[in-house]
Amino acid sequence: MGKGRAPCCDKTKVKRGQWSYDEDLKLISFINKYGHENWRSLPEQAGLLRCGKSCRLRWINYLRPDVKRGNFSVDEEETIIKLHQSIGSKWSKIASKLPGRTDNEIKNVWHTHLKKRLSSHTNLNADDEAGTKDSLNREETSQESSPNASMSFGGSKISSKEDGVQIGQTLQYLEGHSEVTRTLQEVDKPELLEIPFGVDPEIWSFINGLDSFQQPENSLAPWAHQDSQEDEVEKWFKHLETELGLEENDSQQQQSIVMLTKNHRHHHLGELRALDTPLTKP
């Protein structure tokens, strides 16, 4: 390569740091519509002031629909330890053995938990039990304390009541963002070639699988009391479409919203909690 590395982007012209709600929405909407054939050009096409690498990382580590969030199970931790012993810090290889987990996430877990545990095993000659207990304790605690524990698009674990509540809360959050419609329109660029991007059926199985979608008595979303849970979800979408001006039946945009809804639970929980204005019934 010889002449030195050209910077991947002009760092004075790109935004850095935490991703905003609006940026996530743009990225998800764009990728849903057009895919991600070229990360370098994607930010410009999607109207994002971000480096392509940053977009890629955000998508892979956080926004991708099949990314599994929440604490690692004991099995997963054991797998990481074993694989690390055999192949070393090949995080992407290890990640490939753990569906839904990203290399970045595994790397973080390794550095924050597993490495310490292993070194304490070595130094203190601790038995296996300690580590197992540690994992179990963390799992137990996480189920109580972590708001997004056990959350997964990948098709399995969906947390219970709180998800339903949070969907309501997230809707409030969305309602507070009038630019949502504009954002969706911005990424709907007719000049771009449409790339087929199938709707992941698991998204809809997730929606249909919201078997604990219940509102508490003092719910922030009183309109959500319905005869059946499916109806609740259906009406939630209808309401969302109405609020966002998406009257037409655009399943891809629905998918984007669902993805964003879930993904932003964690990061914008603080904002969601801050919202205490009751919804108006549609």
Instruction: Name the residues that contact DNA, by CB under 7 A.
Output: 1-3, 5-8, 11, 15-19, 37-41, 51-54, 56-58, 61-62, 69, 71, 89-93, 103-105, 107-109, 111-113, 266-267, 270
Total number of residues shown for the chain: 282
Report the residue number, 33 or 239, with the smaller CB distance to DNA: 33
In angstroms, how far is CA 136 from the centroid of its own chain? 24
User: Measured from the CB atom, is 37 or 227 closer to DNA?
Assistant: 37
For the bound state, the minimum distance from the C-beta of residue 61 to DNA, rounded and expressed in Å, comes to 6
CA atoms within 13 A of residue 165's CA, in its CB half-sphere: 17
Between 45 and 229, name the residue whose CB sits nearer to DNA.
45
CB of 19 closer than 8 Å to CB of 58: yes
- Cβ proximity to DNA, 25 vs 233, nearer residue: 25
Instruction: Name all contacts of 31-36 with Cβ < 8 Å and 24+ positions apart.
Output: 31/59, 31/63, 31/197, 32/197, 32/252, 32/253, 32/255, 32/256, 33/187, 33/188, 33/192, 33/194, 33/195, 33/197, 33/252, 34/192, 34/193, 34/194, 34/195, 34/197, 35/195, 35/197
Among 183, 158, 230, residue whose Cα is nearest residue 32: 183
d(CA 238, CA 207): 14
- Cα gap 27→63, rounded to integer Å: 9
| Least spacing, CB of residue 200 vs DNA, in Å | 18
For the bound state, the minimum distance from the C-beta of residue 143 to DNA, rounded and expressed in Å, comes to: 13
Residue with smaller CB distance to DNA, 39 or 204? 39
CB 5 to DNA: min, Å? 5
Nearer to DNA, 87 or 231 (CB): 87
Given its phi and psi angles, is residue 35 left (phi above 0), alpha (psi -120 to 50 degrees) or beta?
left
Residues 224, 218 contacting (CB under 8 angstroms): no
Closer to DNA by Cβ: residue 112 or 249: 112
Cβ 163 to DNA, closest distance in Å? 17
Neighbours of 249 (CB within 10 A): 9
Q: How far is the CB of 18 from DNA (least distance, A)?
A: 5
Q: Which of 20, 265, 26 is nearest to 167 (CA)?
A: 265
Minimum CB–partner distance for residue 198 and DNA (Å): 19
